[in-house]
């Protein structure tokens, strides 16, 4: 397997640099597996100084459907899909739409590969697949909904704590007032609905996908949701390792179990990360045929 430095040198010395190298390794993986390959990579880690500026552009959003449609077109759907994910998450509605689209295009045959991180709604997409491939260095994340920088579960917990304390001692209303004033009147209701929405769709995806052949698919799905969709993880950015994911009963394959696959996956990952580091690209959606939908920094190409 080429090292990080070798891949980096290859990119820098190539005539078309980043694109040529990425597409070479994507084509090699397709030749090895015989499966369609699509990568979905966000540059939120590679461009941290731009996260606040770019906002939703780095997250999963409705624009991504156009990218996925453009790279799915022309693929032989019967060959299944290997979907690489590297994302901080994003919008639940966009995630639901993307999952429904990909499942319609590749029914019952989607394998998600997580070379590094697929957090929040990225984890939701992974849970909608039939199999997840992770390395010892890879992580999924909790799927509890967020409102800005606040967790829906945390908002509800804070509200319920305030209500209980004020009921016991009305004088505490003055203490809680500035804290509760930051929430709009409909916030609590929206939190409950968002939690129910995320649980419902992921439960359905697990029952009809990864757990469809389990003795009790619903019970298996609820075990996962009780862990990943609740406050048991304590914080939204907690990393869920390969072993933890397997302990939850998820169909997770260790990348290290297949040396050839590992070499190809990590070469693709290195090429994508270096592209995001060294170019103005902020999000890359691309297939093994070289069809790509790439977002750039505003005003850049």
Question: What pLDDT was estimated at residue 95?
Answer: 96
Mean pLDDT by 10 residues, the chain (301 residues): 74 74 97 98 89 83 96 96 96 96 97 96 97 97 74 71 83 80 76 84 97 96 90 67 96 98 98 95 96 84 57
pLDDT digits (tens, 9 = 90+) for 154-204: 777 777 787 888 888 888 878 778 877 777 777 777 777 878 888 999 999
Angle at 80 between CA 75 and CA 84, to 5 degrees: 90
DSSP line for 258-275 = -HHHHHHHHHHHHHHHHH
| Ordered strands of the 281-287 beta sheet | 252-254, 131-134, 110-114, 81-86, 36-42, 281-287, 292-296
- What top-level class would CATH report for the domain 1-141+239-301? alpha beta
Question: What pLDDT was estimated at residue 257?
Answer: 97
The residue whose two tokens read 């997840």 is: 132
pLDDT digits (tens, 9 = 90+) for 21-39: 999 999 999 999 999 999 9
Question: What pLDDT was estimated at residue 185?
Answer: 72
Q: Are 106 and 159 in contact (CB under 8 A)?
A: no
Cα–Cα distance, 58 to 45 (Å, whole number): 10
| 58 token code pair | 């780095």
Q: Which of 48, 110, 53, 49 is nearest to 79 (CA)?
A: 110
Cα–Cα distance, 72 to 158 (Å, whole number): 44
| 256 token code pair | 């290290």
Predicted structure pTM score:
0.86
The residue ranges of every structural domain in the chain are 1-141+239-301, 144-233
| 222 token code pair | 């609820």
Question: What pLDDT was estimated at residue 35?
Answer: 98
């Amino acid at each position: 397997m080429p090292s990080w430095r070798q891949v980096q040198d290859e990119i820098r010395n190539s005539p078309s640099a980043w694109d040529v190298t990425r597409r070479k390794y994507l084509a090699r993986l397709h030749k090895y597996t015989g499966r369609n390959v699509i990568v979905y990579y966000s540059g939120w880690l590679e461009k941290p100084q731009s996260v606040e500026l770019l906002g939703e552009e780095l997250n999963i959003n409705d624009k991504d459907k156009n990218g996925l449609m453009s790279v799915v077109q022309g693929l032989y759907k019967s060959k299944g899909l290997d979907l690489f994910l590297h994302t901080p998450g994003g919008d639940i509605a966009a995630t639901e739409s993307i999952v429904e689209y990909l499942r319609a295009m590749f029914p019952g045959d989607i394998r998600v590969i997580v070379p590094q991180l697929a957090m929040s709604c990225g984890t939701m997409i992974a849970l909608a697949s039939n199999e997840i491939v992770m390395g010892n260095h890879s992580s999924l994340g909790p799927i509890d909904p967020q409102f800005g920088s606040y967790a829906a579960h945390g908002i509800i917990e804070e509200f319920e704590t305030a209500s209980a304390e004020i009921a016991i001692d009305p004088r505490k209303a003055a203490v809680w007032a500035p804290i509760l004033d930051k929430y709009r009147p409909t916030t609590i209701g929206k939190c409950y609905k968002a939690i129910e929405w995320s649980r419902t769709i992921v439960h359905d995806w697990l029952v009809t996908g990864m757990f469809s052949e389990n003795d009790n698919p619903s019970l298996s799905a609820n075990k996962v949701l009780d862990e990943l969709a609740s406050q048991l993880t304590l914080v939204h950015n907690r990393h869920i390792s390969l072993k933890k994911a397997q302990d939850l009963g998820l169909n997770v394959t260790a990348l290290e179990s297949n040396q050839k696959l590992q070499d190809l996956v990590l070469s693709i990952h290195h090429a994508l990360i270096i592209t995001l580091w060294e170019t103005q690209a902020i999000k890359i959606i691309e297939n093994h045929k070289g069809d790509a939908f790439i977002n750039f920094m505003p005003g850049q190409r």
